[in-house]
Amino acid sequence: MSMVQSGTQVSLKNILFLTDFSQASEGALPFAVSIARGYGAKVCALHISIPAPYICTTPELTTAAIEADEENSKLEMERVEARLNTLAHEIIIERGTTVWPIVERTVIDHDIDLIVLGTHGRTGAEKLLMGSVAEEIFRQSPVPVLTIGPNVHGGAHSAGRFHRVLFATDFAPASVAAAPYAVSFAQENHAALVLLHVIRRPREGGNNEQRARFELSVAEAIHHLYETVPDDASLDRPPEVAVEYGDAAERIVESSSRRGADLIVLGVRDRAGHISAATHLGRATAHKVVAHATCPVLTVRGANS
């Protein structure tokens, strides 16, 4: 039985693009534009202005600084809007002390189906979409999040189009939730689809029974990978399957680079979720993949295992 049932459709009608006007956000915008165009979606561009801590200053200077920040945000958003002028779009500027509550409210109020953001992976209070904030979003978001990480270089995205989609799965419920998106993005972009499962090798010196069990698990993994995509999926070519061995995050990042993938799709679980002893596709793994991948990563929050 396939993980993606026949007739399963992904509908993206409203895309939320988060921007702090940084270079990382600039690099993420072509993806929001391209996906919106492909799916016929509306783009909501959101900037959240976090006030700086004004210490040892007068109320007048504080007010002037806030007004200057608001004016700058409007000017920057005009530049973003100019790049969205061929699409249905909406520009939103909010002020707040934290990011997630505003994002959560926007997702609900605007019926968002996908969040797109860029992250430079640095920490510190000087930037909005720092690595920790991006992780908070893809951990809590009820909708999929496309993260363009710090190692995704400009020009590597072919104007937001994808040619090879890598779906990494441990066959847990979170992966089941992510599978339709991997298939849909491959269909929409006429891209090749690679299905990857990572397992640990048996310990050195294992007995014959342990080695036989390992060989069986590999055969089972290959079988399950082939079942991931329904026979009637409208793909340009049959999906490739791969079973690799070692640390899940390292193998996913290395395999995506070696295979020329320009999109990784992962199901993510909450901290409380069970982590598979075979693959460890848990919280830390997703964070490492987003931080080190040389291509965008689509994370889909699914049910706990």
In this predicted model, what pLDDT tens digit does every residue of 132-186 receive, in sequence order? 677 778 778 999 999 998 888 754 456 678 999 999 998 888 888 899 999 999 9
- Asked whether 289 and 253 are in contact (CB, 8 A), the reply is yes
Give the pLDDT of residue 93.
94
pTM given for the model: 0.85
DSSP-derived 3-state class of residue 263: strand
Fold (topology level) of 14-148: Rossmann fold (3.40.50)
**Closest residue by Cα to residue 68 from 52, 56, 92:** 52
- Are 14-148 and 164-301 the same fold in CATH? yes
| Domain 164-301 = CATH 3.40.50.620 | yes
- Asked whether 191 and 238 are in contact (CB, 8 A), the reply is no
Model confidence over 49-70: pLDDT tens digits? Answer: 887 665 556 666 667 767 777 8
Compute the average pLDDT of residues 6-31: 87
- Tokens in use for 32? 């929001």
- Tokens in use for 269? 């679980």
Would you kindly state where each structural domain of the chain is located, as residue ranges?
14-148, 164-301
Give the pLDDT of residue 231.
78
Count Cβ neighbours within 10 Å for each residue of 146-173 and write b for 16 or more, e otherwise.
bbbbbebeeeebeebbbebbbbbbbbbe
Give the pLDDT of residue 203.
59
